[in-house]
Amino acid sequence: EIVRERQENLRLVRLMQDKEEMIGKLKEEIDLLNRDLDDLEDENEQLKQENKTLLKVVGQLT
């Protein structure tokens, strides 16, 4: 009985370690995705400003 409980305990500890490792990897991936999102938001804002400028120029030409 004790041997079986120890085996189950070990199995659960390994399972928990695997889950913690997966959580760590997912946190890293979330950080990378958040950085990418920040970069894309900055680029989007810059493109909006460029579009405004181009629309003004086109408006003046017509």
DSSP structure class, residue 1: -
pTM of model > 0.75 = no
| Dist CA 49 CA 56 (whole Å) | 11
In tens digits, what is the pLDDT along the chain, a chain of 62 residues? 999 999 999 999 999 999 999 999 999 999 999 999 999 999 999 999 999 999 999 999 98
24-53 burial string, b = 16+ CB within 10 Å, else e? Answer: eeeeeeeeeeeeeeeeeeeeeeeeeeeeee
pLDDT at 16: 99
| Dist CA 24 CA 31 (whole Å) | 11
